[in-house]
């Protein structure tokens, strides 16, 4: 069994269930109803992951031994399967309430409530105007992602946790503006130590210092050519003056018909592309750390001393992803750790 969880991306789980006899095969057939069954993963008494199995494959090896391979997506994957069929409008509404409104709309339709809970008292302090038209039939997760990616946006995820008093399993909407934070103190990871391996990728292919975004087409005048809404050309003059070559970037928001909203998307896109942040990846021994999916958003203090960092690296990052791999012969249970600049 392997699974992962992230901020800004839907987590997944891959489970292989052996079917050694007819009784267990019958139990799996009765329990597994793709798109309907809930999958929960626990570690000790803690609930680490939850989601929905979407695909499976029955496999038989050369000796006739059967197994069921199951692929599941985190709770946010459900919102990929929910569309807006009734126009939703918000004027001067806190962006967190817009998210909760979309989830409430989803839950009020027949069969649409899967029990996602949220705290309505948490606000971002940023008010927005939004209209989600039924004619576009947008997917709810796509709308939340677009809202979150605007300048002054936020982060969101649907976490799994257990109520410490009742033991009830909870699907909880987490919102953070501008980012999700967790933990009260930094988690220290050392190399040599709990950090078994690390990979520090740098990528200039995603860099840009000039940006323009394209929105919905304006087809009000049927006699004229239909052209998309376009932002002004945004230029990072400071980078060009510093000697950087011109690097152009573009983005499409085909459901955005308001120029102000589109311009906010463009500014956020340019800010991210002008100084892209590397996402270091570490592999750690889970039995030697405090890490768990509940700490997504926590501060991680990385201390490394090797040939590259001969003087020693001591830096702080934010935990944005955790991918857990099962133990194998000669290797303990490990987790790949994804970070960003704190």
Other beta carbons within 10 Å of 84: 21
Do the beta carbons of residue 161 and residue 119 sit within 8 Å?
Answer: no
3-class state of residue 40 by DSSP = strand
Hey, what CATH topology would domain 187-202+278-341 get? Phage tail proteins - horseshoe like beta roll fold (2.30.300)
Per domain, the residue ranges of the chain are 2-73, 82-176, 187-202+278-341, 210-274
- The predicted model scores a pTM of 0.80
Mean pLDDT of the chain: 93
Helix 140-149 and helix 259-274: axis angle, to 10°?
Answer: 70
pLDDT digits (tens, 9 = 90+) for 184-229: 899 999 999 999 999 988 889 999 999 999 998 876 666 667 789 9
Top-confidence range, 139-143, 160-164, 329-333: 139-143
pLDDT at 15: 95
pLDDT at residue 220 in the model:
63
Q: Where do runs of H (alpha helix) occur along the chain?
A: 22-31, 95-108, 140-149, 237-241, 259-274
Identify which of 280, 324, 322 has the alpha carbon closest to the alpha carbon of residue 302: 280
What's the farthest any 2 CA atoms get from each other in the chain? 71
CATH 1.10.890 fits 82-176, yes or no: no
Task: Note the pLDDT of residue 254.
Answer: 87
The span from the CA of 51 to the CA of 15, in Å, is 12
pLDDT in tens, 77-136: 999 999 999 999 999 999 999 999 999 999 999 999 999 999 999 999 999 999 999 999
pLDDT at 278 over 90: no
pLDDT category of residue 281 using cuts at 50, 70 and 90: confident
């Amino acid at each position: 069994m392997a699974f992962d969880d992230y901020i800004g991306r839907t987590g997944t789980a891959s489970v292989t269930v052996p079917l050694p006899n007819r009784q267990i095969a019958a139990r799996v057939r009765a329990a597994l109803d793709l798109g309907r069954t809930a999958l929960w993963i626990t570690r000790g008494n803690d609930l680490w992951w939850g989601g929905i199995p979407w695909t499976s494959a029955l496999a038989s090896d050369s000796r006739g031994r059967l197994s069921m391979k199951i692929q599941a997506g985190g709770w946010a994957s459900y919102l990929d399967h929910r569309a807006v069929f009734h126009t939703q409008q918000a004027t001067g509404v806190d962006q967190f309430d817009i998210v909760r409104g979309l989830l409430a709309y989803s839950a009020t339709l027949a069969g649409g409530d899967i029990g996602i809970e949220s705290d309505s008292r948490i606000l971002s302090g940023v008010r927005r105007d939004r209209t989600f038209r039924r004619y576009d039939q947008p997917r709810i997760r796509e709308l939340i992602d677009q809202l979150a990616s605007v300048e002054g946006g936020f982060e969101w995820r649907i976490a799994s946790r257990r109520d410490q008093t009742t033991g009830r399993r909870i699907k909880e909407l987490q919102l953070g503006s501008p980012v999700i934070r967790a933990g009260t103190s930094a988690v220290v990871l050392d190399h040599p130590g709990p950090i078994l391996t690390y990979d520090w990728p740098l990528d200039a292919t995603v860099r840009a210092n000039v940006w323009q975004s394209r929105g919905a087409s304006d087809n009000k005048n049927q006699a004229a050519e239909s052209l998309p809404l376009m932002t002004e050309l945004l230029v990072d003059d400071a980078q060009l003056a510093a000697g950087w070559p011109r690097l152009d970037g573009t983005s499409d928001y085909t459901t955005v018909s308001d120029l102000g909203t589109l311009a906010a998307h463009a500014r956020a896109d340019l800010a991210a592309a002008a100084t892209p942040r590397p996402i270091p990846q570490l592999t750690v021994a889970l039995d030697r750390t405090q890490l768990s999916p509940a700490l997504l958003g926590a501060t991680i203090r990385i201390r490394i001393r090797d040939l590259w960092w001969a003087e020693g690296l001591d830096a702080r990052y934010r935990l944005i992803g955790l991918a857990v791999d099962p133990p194998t012969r000669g290797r303990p249970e490990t987790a790949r750790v994804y970070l960003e600049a704190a």
